[in-house]
Structure 1
Amino acid sequence: MSSSSRQRALGGGGQHVLDYLKRMQAENPAFFYAIQGDNDHSAGNIFWADATSRMNYSHFGDTVRFDTTYRTNRYRAPFATFTGLNHHGQPVLFGCALLLNESDASFIWLLQTWLHAMSGRSPVSITTDPDRLIQMAVVEVLPQTRHRFCKWSIFKETQEKLAHIYQTHPTFEIEFKKCINEAEIVDEFDSCWESLLDKYYLMDNEWLQSMYNARHQWVPVYMRDTFFGELSTTEGSDSINSFFDGYVNAATTIQLLIKQYEKAVASWHEKELKADSDTINTMPVLKTPSPMEKQAANLYTRRIFMKFQEELVETLANPATKIEDSGMITAFRVAKFGEEHRAHTVRFNAFEMKANCSCQMFEFSGIICRHILSVFRAKNVLTLPSQYLLKRWTRNAKSGGAVDECVPELPSNSRVSLTVRYNNLRQEAIKFVEEGAKSIHIYNVAVDALQEATKKVAAAKKQNSGGTQGSSLANGDNREMHTGEENRTMPFQSAVSFHPISSPLKFL
């Protein structure tokens, strides 16, 4: 759909969204939105991120998924989203946009605006649809971020481009996906790819040749040195954005979008609370007598622990054999019984208690692999060294955090401090709730304390009714930013350090 026809089809939808955003920001100055486009803003591009999205980014902004499904699936609402993964491996929202007036500069504006709202800190990695305009925008706005194309989009397009092969050779799709998802080393992928093309007489196919040329941006074996937060080899082969699945689809109008957006946000908030509760209130069944397993059960969220436990149990079938010892570094060969041809090499530094595996699972997912765990077993390392406990996967992923550790004291009349105060109070409230729910006695004490605090806050409001509220406008070239902050980059601390094309490892 062209920009002009899209705008005609949208009617007053853009204004409907804009009215909602103004109302939301009036209620909470940490709510951010920005507009690019025409003078009356009714058909201009719109971006927004609520306070929770911005706080979530401070904890989980290491890897981002930018979804523009509307461009290929003929959505009525040109709805783009930024999402990530929380400490339970659930989708978490980092912002939304309506691209009502798409142009070559739209994606650059959108990425710049989103980055501004996220305190100016780039993610380690970003996954997008394989689109030339988006690729150019990422290179310009996020030059240090590792850019990956969504496998699901590539598989979908391959099915369209090779429809005749898929119809006449039902086994091709299975073999193609296996080649992409299961190759553990580059040579294995290259050999498998060549065999596949040779078997189905596709050596001269232009589409597959172009996909092979771009392999460093979508084939997992080439991306494993960078954190993407995926917990399995098949993850990511589904649709890039699961946050709004079941809520927003091709038939969703802009008038209906906000209602569906709020439903999705509420639903995922509820799912996160349930996952938090399950983690806090249930102890998983331990499968080994290992102190390491018990340690992990107490530190990780439930889903992450299950993934770790799977790797730990697999060490029983993956013995480590010493192949080289240079004093400081000892090299081990680790292979599953019967699969010696798929062995991995682990290099272990006993002095620093560090190990690196050729499978690079830890770098890619932030969870330690069975191969390193086998070496730990052989070397009598009984508990997980702290450098292998990535904070973003723990039950305390949101403790501490960006605001209360990093933000300096600000003048009481600074608009930036509105956001700081909001986020500080929110963090303290979360801690209060977590502690207060642990027993009936503590719960009763907490309720009494809240009621007393409510009275004190009400009394303070009567004494000082002229509190700072409102929003400021930061006018730039062809854009307006509406936010409760001035144009200032706030300090940022995530559960990871940010380094280009490297493992984002900050630990407990």
Structure 2
Amino acid sequence: MAIAIEEVFPNSHHRLCLWHIMKKLPVKLGGHAQYKMIKKQLKTIVYNSLTVDECDENWLKMIEEFKLENNDWLKSLYEERNRWVPVYVKDHFWAGMSTTQRSESMNAFFDDYVHSKTSLKQFVEQYDSALKKNIENEKKLDFVSFNSIMPVILGHSIERQFQNAYTNNIFKLFQDEIRGLMFCDVSLLREEGITLIFEVVENMLGNNGHPRREVSFRVHYTELDCQLKCVYRLFEFRGILYRHVIKVLMRMKVIEIPMRYIMDRWRKNIKRGYQSISNIYDDYGCDGKRLRYNTLTPLMQEVQQLGVENDGICSVLVKIMKDTKEKLIIAMDNGQSMVEQLEEASTSGAKVIHSPLKFVNQEPSKPSSTVSVLSSLMLFLEYRFVMYASL
């Protein structure tokens, strides 16, 4: 899978499953005389480390204390720590999903559609059915968000700003952070140029029934453009402002935050491109125009998302699209021969990517590599789910 992911999704971040790793502790370390102490320390390092340096330092101390230098399993985990330890993956956006939650959400997504004996061909078909059902459910939830208003807790202008922008489900998550403000105290530590550095002390609930403990977080705030940076990096990880940052904003009497802190994917007024994709197995009864529309829509949505990244990319994209539009108009006026010339020019030198159905339907006498099958399957899933996963 790692090879296929790197080939098909070169710009993605591939994580290992934290839940499966921690599940192996009894098997890999259960025979050690101090297993319970090792397990306790390892869980503390994995779940409670706030910085990379803190994680590395405590890991090496644990290895030395329990003389685990020759444990190949722990050694391999440490080498791959940037793919599974939470403090290492928080720099990237994961919609707030830990590996366990991700596994549970995927299981729920495929309920009633796939099972342990589902073939690859059946999976491709059932995946599309599951996606269609999920889109229908999202449209119902969007309708509810547009036609009902979640009550505010504090009534602060920032809370009302998110109330107007977020879907109901996301606003509920944001209000959890509002409730958490009662456990946070903020104080100004120092100024570094135009940046103010605050300390937010939170009285956090301990793990596994342990008593609450005070944990200190540093939040950097620049008033000029309302730049915020927290060591906990929950916004980068979840896409929702965390209580530590909200506490600082309220301390600085900010009444409205910049729109960059309200992700498009959480907004109730956003047009979700993937929702316009029809089920490919229902399209056989549609006319050709509808089929072509369904083919072009996901590609146009993806190009649009790339174009809004910055002014330079947007300008280049506008020029390309205008030029393409003019050529298409000329081609339509000049008949099929011009269309054929455009098609030949657009496909010359292009890399051929086969449909996954070619692999899942081929005869046993013509085996393909596992990587080729996975790569093709991922390309198919990317087409069907790209806007849902990356909007």
Equivalent residue letter for 1:419: Y
Alignment of 1:19-418 (within 5 A): 134-139=1-6, 142-156=9-23, 160-162=27-29, 164=31, 176-194=42-60, 197=63, 202-231=68-97, 235-236=101-102, 243-245=109-111, 247-253=113-119, 257=123, 260-261=126-127, 263-337=129-203, 342-398=215-271, 418=292
| Greater RCO (Cα-Cα under 8 Å, separation 6 or more) | 1
Which AA in structure 2 matches 1:291?
A: S
Q: Report Cα offsets for 1:169-209 as digits up to 9, x if no partner.
A: 57866764453233222243235434655676644311011
Structure with the higher fraction of residues in helix conformation = 2
- Give how far 1:390 is off: 1.0
- How far apart are residue 210 of structure 1 and its match? 0.8
> Could you state the TM-score of these two structures normalised by the residue count of structure 2?
0.62
With over 3 angstroms needed to count, the CA separation of the structure-2 counterparts of 1:237 and 1:185, relative to structure 1, is: farther
TM-score by length of 1: 0.49
Structure 1 residue 215: deviation in Å? Answer: 0.6
Which residue of structure 1 aligns with residue 207 of structure 2?
none
CA distance in 1: counterparts of 2:134 and 2:75, whole angstroms: 40
Between the aligned partners of 1:192 and 1:388, the Cα distance in structure 2 is 33
Instruction: Give the residue type in structure 2 aligned to 1:335.
Output: V
What does residue 419 of structure 1 align with? 293
Task: Give the counterpart letter for 1:388 in structure 2.
Answer: Y
Residue-by-residue CA offset, 1:449-472 (whole Å, 9 max, x unaligned): xxxxxxxxxxxxxxxxxxx9xxx9
Q: Deviations over 1:133-169 (max 9, x none)?
A: x43444455544333323234335555544646x995
CA displacement, residues 101-141 of structure 1 (integer Å, 9 cap, x when unaligned): xxxxxxxxxxxxxxxxxxxxxxxxxxxxxxxxx43444455
Return the structure number with greater strand share.
1
Query: Which amino acid in 1 is paired with 2:255?
Result: L
Letter in 2 for 1:390: M
1:381-420 deviation per Cα after TM superposition (whole angstroms, max 9, x unaligned): 12332121111111123268999xxxxxxxxxxx999337
Contact map agreement 2:226 2:257 (CA 8 A) in 1: no
| Contact kept in structure 2, 1:347 and 1:356, CA below 8 Å | yes
Between 251-260 and 279-288, report the one with greater CA deviation.
Answer: 251-260
Alignment RMSD: 4.6
Aligned counterparts of 2:18 and 2:81: Cα–Cα separation in 1: 11
The 3-state SS of whatever aligns with 1:304 is helix
How many corresponding residue pairs?
302
Structure 2 residue matching 1:278: 3-state secondary structure: helix
